[in-house]
A and B are shown apart, each in its own frame.
Chain A
Amino acid sequence: MARMSDRAPGAAGSGLNDDIGEEKRLALYRSQVVLREAEQRAFDLFLQNLVKGTSHLSLGQEAVAAGFAEAMQKGDLSFCTYRGHAHTLARGVPVEKVLGELMQRDNGLMRGKGGSMHLTSEEHGVMGSYAIIGAHLPIACGAAWRAQYKGHKDVSVCFFGDGTTNIGAFHEALNFAAVWKLPVVFVCENNLYMEYTPIADVTAVQHPAADRASAYGLERIVIDGNDADVVYREAQKAYAKARAGNGPSLIECMTYRHSGHSRADPAKYRPEGELERWKLRDPIKIYRERLLQFGVSEKTIADIDARVRKEVDDATEACKAAPMPPLDILTTDVYADGGWAWRN
């Protein structure tokens, strides 16, 4: 049984409920605005040919990243995909570090050695962004196994897309986590598409993650992934369950990406009107209205917007001024001794 009814775009939000509190609400809003501004900037920089390689934006999916990250405690671990800028930023990684990596500069998170698909910041609990579909679900299980073995109370949270539910590693990880009762939370961001193919065309069930949950003895959970409050509450529940030793959760978040799959994709395969319908349920728009409903002033909201824009502007300038990585990092950190020697 779904705990929440599946929400079509245009359905009502979660209504007035005071459980989250103003401070957290403002944090949820601010986080979503950071993700939006930073990723829109990444897109602009790509158009100026300053972002090299590929990049996968989460524009339109900010509520998932913000909601899950804001519900985390320090020490909780995030495992992301190549579509991981948002999840990385949501853990508090500075915008400059992320944009720097996208621009492949020396000030980037990994000094240009990883690139946009592999954002990692262990000091912020971002344990890597993985570009081989499904690979990180078992890895998150391993981190959770360590917590269980050592009696640590952190939770491993693993984000992935709808398309990922059709690869073997998804099913191996779900069974493994359930059998070992691991403190891991699997978050499927169902944005309706894999790269270009609608998920419904290639999947035997309607809800690619949730409809498989029963196969692993897990509850079927589908939530509105565009409402940060809904996401935040569901995350809290799942983390509490994991910390209490009651095992994994699988949460399917219904959402939509506003841009193409990757920077080169104009997303022509979408039916007419679909994007516009989803934009009516833009997570940031929803959340701005929520804040106003709760009596937050227009000015407070505008101040947050302005501060975030300034932060992103400053980061952009810092990245443009940053040097390219030096050639001597080419052969560092292949092995733990810091070098690359494979022979004597």
Chain B
Amino acid sequence: MAELTYRDAVARGIAQEMTRDPDVVFLGEDVGKAGGVFKATVGLYEQFGPLRVRDTPISEQAILGAAMGAAMTGLKPIAEIMFSDFFAVCFDYIANEFPKSRYMSNGQTKCPLVVRTGNGAGSRFGAQHSQSVENWCMMIPGLKVVAPSTPRDVIGLMAAAVRDPDPVIFFEHKSLYATKGEVPDGEIVDTLGTAKIVRPGKDATIIALALMVPRANEAANRLKAEHGIDCEVVDVRSLVPLDTQTILGSVAKTNRLFTVEENPRLCGWGAEIVSIVADEAFYDLDGPPVRITTPHIPLPAADILEDIVLPTPDRIVETVKRSLGS
């Protein structure tokens, strides 16, 4: 066991897989010699050399296209897109190429790659460097989508993503890079498509992702301490595949459902979860499911404004308390 930052866990996760499999290669802007703009890939260039850790030009389409061509023909590339907002300039690969080649070719074409990216708000970077775009990817058949919230999950899910035979979009949260967590020694391999109950409870289920997980935890602690409401917090971790069994199981126990989403409201991932629960567990519910999201606006830069728009522990506490009528 050692304490590790989320940032260092990224490098350790990649290094674990590059050590295991010489076909794993890594490319992106400033990722090699510079160690990444978030310093999440420091040391990889020194450890694995310039043939496996490759600095690219500012060419997001070339980065993702090259990753795909390499994946189709036998490598296991990890590609970095520096900020997830930049998916918009290379979205063809994410929406049209990676996820459809296998289907269109009737199973001939493979695409085992990982795109990792800095997602989410909290850095006061404004509307084009702060978005949570996991829902852009969740809606595309053929992709897998994960978003870890702890250093341990970063390593384990990175390993699962690299070993997975499908294209996986791996969302790292920029505001979690500096956070720390206990990480076991040795190899860590997790499983895609598994949610985790990070805090058991009996009165309400709070489903959260990435940065919203620690916020939901903090809210749950306060709800218990200050209001006697015992919340179960579920870290979704993987939007596709989606572990609906864990979610439905939790709702069956608590009879109340809250989602805490950083993405803007329309078509956020929580809407799909609410819809599944409404379809399949309606009679388990003692009250309407409630979504706590960022409002449907572009993200502002100023700290005072950005802090208001993201779901906060305060907002979660207030919403749960009000909904449960306490």
> Which residue numbers of A lie inside 8 Å of B, CB to CB?
77, 109-111, 113-115, 118, 120-122, 127-128, 130, 132, 134-147, 149-150, 156, 168-169, 172-173, 175-176, 179-180, 329, 332-338, 340-344
Contact = CB atoms under 8 A, between A and B. Distances in A.
A142 B240 CA distance: 26
B141 interface: yes
Nearest to B243: A344
A122 B65 contact: no
Contacts of B54: 180
Interface of B: 25, 51, 54, 56-57, 59, 61-75, 77, 92-93, 96-97, 101-110, 112, 141-142, 144, 164-166, 193, 240-245, 276
17 contacts: A111-B106, A113-B103, A114-B104, A127-B109, A138-B64, A138-B66, A138-B69, A139-B69, A142-B67, A143-B72, A146-B73, A146-B74, A176-B66, A332-B106, A332-B107, A333-B102, A338-B107
A111 B244 CA distance: 33
Contacts of A122: 105, 108-109
A212 to B, nearest CB: 15
Given A342-B141, A344-B241, A142 B96 contact: no
A146 B69 CA distance: 8
A136 B142 CA distance: 19
Given A145-B66, A150-B74, A138 B241 contact: no
A114 B70 contact: no
Contacts of A143: 69-70, 72-73
A132 B96 contact: yes
Contacts of B104: 110, 113-115, 118, 120, 128
Contacts of A337: 165
B193 A344 contact: yes
B69 A145 contact: yes
Nearest to B112: A336
Contacts of A121: 108
B304 to A, nearest CB: 38
A142 B92 CA distance: 16
A37 to B, nearest CB: 25
Contacts of B102: 333-336
A175 B65 CA distance: 13
Contacts of B110: 336
Contacts of A77: 73
Contacts of A110: 104-106, 108
A335 to B, nearest CB: 5
Contacts of A340: 141
Counting chain A CB atoms within 10 Å of each CB, the highest count among B71, B93, B107, B243 belongs to B107
Sorted nearest first, the 10 A-B pairs with minimum C-beta distance are A138-B65, A142-B69, A336-B165, A142-B66, A172-B59, A333-B107, A110-B106, A172-B62, A143-B69, A120-B105
Contacts of A172: 57, 59, 61-62, 65
A329 B106 contact: yes
A343 B241 contact: yes
A173 B66 CA distance: 9
Given A176-B57, A176-B59, A338-B107, A344 B244 contact: yes
A173 B62 contact: yes
Nearest to B52: A149
A334 B142 contact: yes
A138 B109 contact: no
A134 B92 CA distance: 10
Contacts of A137: 65
B106 A141 contact: no
Contact of A139 (B65, B105, B164): B65
Nearest to A158: B69
Q: Which of A109, A113, A132, A333 has the most CB of B within 10 A?
A: A333
A49 B229 CA distance: 67
Given A142-B67, A344-B242, 20 more contacts: A113-B105, A128-B104, A128-B109, A135-B61, A135-B92, A137-B65, A138-B69, A139-B65, A139-B66, A139-B72, A139-B97, A141-B62, A145-B70, A150-B75, A172-B61, A173-B62, A175-B62, A180-B54, A334-B142, A344-B241
